[in-house]
Structure 1
């Protein structure tokens, strides 16, 4: 089929659109990428590890793609990656708030000591 990538297929985790391997942000939704995550096994790492597909499970590797060539669903199943619910935001750990408060209090104390001298 013409127009389909020959190597591993990279998808934006946010909107699901195909993304070039070396992209730093999604051309469709603009989300920035810090690393690549395999949709099959959830392994996360730099894009250089994924040049031949997932190094852990082999997702989208040339060997896996060639074994699917006879299947009518081989090109569409790669795109049918389920989207995550992005509506819920995970709160920061409690220690982040404590550390931020401690730094703020320390800066306040230093400022008060400096001003009173």
Structure 2
């Protein structure tokens, strides 16, 4: 399991990013996510990528995993993640939330 993000937990995130809590404000989001996952299962192997997803690193990041979950709130990043998944032949799971609504989709780029 891998997490990629260069941001830190902020109180403005807490209502929609349930991996984090008030005590983790100022902590890197990837470290906070790791802490939450390992509290559920301490045997989970987690790799942290404390960086934004960009054209420069996207293909390498996607290449390390079988399935990619896009939970970004940035349109440019969403397009980059999709393009990298297509080029690397990876399954993309897309999730988004707006106000009280949400959507999820799975894109299989194989074959």
Q: TM-score, normalised by structure 2?
A: 0.26
Structure with more strand by fraction: 2
Q: TM-score, normalised by structure 1?
A: 0.25
Q: Which is higher, the Rg of structure 1 or of structure 2?
A: 1
